[in-house]
Amino acid sequence: MSTRLLAILKKEFTQMLRDRMTLFIMIAMPFFQLLIFGYAIDTDVKHLSAVVYDQSLSADSREFLDSLTATNYYDIAYVATSYNEVEERIQKGEAKVGVIIPATYASALKHNHPTEVQVIVDATDPTSAMSAISTAQLVGQNKSQQIMVKKLYQSGISTVKNATAIDIRIRPWYNPDFVTAFYMVPGISGTILTLTMLIFTSLSIVREREQGTLEQLIVTPLKSSELMLGKILPYVLVGYIQLTILVLTGVIVFQVPVGGSILLLYALTSLFIMATLGLGLFVSNMAKNQMQGMMMAAFILLPSIMLSGFVFPRESMPKFFYYLGGLFPLTFYPQIIRGILLKGVTIGYLWKPVLALSLFSAVILTMSVMRFKKRLE
């Protein structure tokens, strides 16, 4: 190995060791990314939030509900007092499944008559929906067999007129054909917006600094907040152009339905764009060079995608990673776009993701301005 090559190698390693932030990201990224992915990725969807409307309020109905929760696929989060409340909980996204038990449930079983249990499933996520459906049907079959065996033992008869004691009636909402594209297109749209907005803005300030043009901007009468705003507004326009292309492609190519207001979608998308751009600006203010900016953006991008529920349902994640996903804007935007396009809901049903994005935007933009001011001092 030549002396010249050794000198170059020594120089590169010296620069690498001096850049502690880049070195930390290079070493820490594989560990943290694998840790997050290893715990967050689980295709077996459990702990689906359910709303129950038990009109029977009997020991038999409670036993049926206990059987559902014992599977660990159903978590009874809400007890409704009306059908409208069940519908509202599912529309808001607070519950993935609605279980409605009729008032005649106990008496029908007592007199050896079949009874129906209605299971309403939010099918915007086909994976979660199929898990909920198969579990409900399996529980219904098992309970029917148990009831029939008990009846045979008590009566001493050899046959039973009605072999199915509990008939599980499935009602998939919003995506009755379980079309995967209806679920994937909104998630991909949010991911593409996150990718472009985060990468572009994470390099904006640090690029100005490396090119020597930041000093020229500093000496102008512009305030720090005005400079930050001027940096992100062009990308807001880019984001809207991308959103238009994504929506048109989804509707025309993949036949994604448009159940709600497109104007509302554009209005609420602005919150997501601002939140993502603010995050990119914060990264750009933290980074010392463009390489650091790119690596920090990648460090944020991958967990935000995996923990958002776009690839794997958040309900199957451990609690820590479930709440960790709530720190990323991408977690909330698919709820908005699916709610408007697939469910046709209004802003009143989307107040939680809207509030989360509003707070995130305000906090991250404020932090970006403060960080920029600090670096100028």
Reported as a single tens digit per residue, the pLDDT across 111-168 is 878 899 999 999 998 988 999 999 999 999 998 888 777 766 666 555 555 557 889 9
Longest dimension (CA), the chain: 96
Final residue in a domain of this structure, among 125, 158, 173: 173
Query: Ramachandran region of residue 212, left (φ > 0), alpha (ψ -120 to 50) or beta?
Result: left
Structural domain containing residue 210? 179-376
Per the structure, the count of domains in the chain is: 2
Please give the helix or strand (H or E) that residue 265 lies within, else none.
Answer: helix 262-286
In 10 A of CB 215, how many CB atoms? 9
In a domain, 144, yes or no: yes
Residue 219, pLDDT score: 66
For 270-304, what is each residue's pLDDT tens digit? 999 999 998 988 888 888 778 788 888 888 888 89
Final residue in a domain of this structure, among 119, 138, 173: 173
In a domain, 201, yes or no: yes
**221 and 155 inside one domain:** no
**83 and 121 inside one domain:** yes
**92 and 167 inside one domain:** yes
Angle at 209 between CA 8 and CA 370, to 5 degrees: 125
Residue 158, pLDDT score: 52
Residue 292, pLDDT score: 80
Torsion sign over Cα 284, 286, 289, 290: negative
In a domain, 101, yes or no: yes
Q: How many C-alpha atoms does 157 have within 13 Å on its Cβ side?
A: 8
Residue 156, pLDDT score: 58
- DSSP 8-state secondary structure symbol assigned to residue 165: S
Final residue in a domain of this structure, among 138, 173, 208: 173
**106 and 62 inside one domain:** yes
Surface-to-core class of residue 94, CB atoms within 10 Å of its CB (0-12 exposed, 13-18 middle, 19+ buried):
middle
**70 and 143 inside one domain:** yes
**160 and 91 inside one domain:** yes
**153 and 107 inside one domain:** yes
In a domain, 33, yes or no: no
**208 and 352 inside one domain:** yes
In a domain, 4, yes or no: no
**130 and 252 inside one domain:** no
In a domain, 8, yes or no: no
In a domain, 185, yes or no: yes
Give long-range contacts, CB 8 A cutoff, 24+ apart: 144-150: 147/109
**144 and 215 inside one domain:** no
- Those residues of the chain that have pLDDT short of 50 are none
Contact 70, 107 (CB under 8 A): no
In a domain, 107, yes or no: yes
* Alpha-carbon span 223 to 181, nearest angstrom: 45
**142 and 198 inside one domain:** no
Residue 1, pLDDT score: 56
Rg (CA), the chain: 27
Q: What is the pTM of this model?
A: 0.82
Measured CA to CA in angstroms, residue 355 lies from 211, 216, 347 at distances of 38, 37, 11
Query: Ramachandran region of residue 93, left (φ > 0), alpha (ψ -120 to 50) or beta?
Result: left
Beta-carbon contacts of residue 86 (< 8 Å; ≥ 6 apart): 51, 53, 80, 95, 98, 100, 120
Tokens (6 digits) for 118: 């209605």
Contact 36, 317 (CB under 8 A): no
CATH of the domain at 141: 3.40.1710.10
**144 and 198 inside one domain:** no
The beta strands (E) that lie in the chain are given as 48-54, 74-79, 97-101, 115-122, 166-173
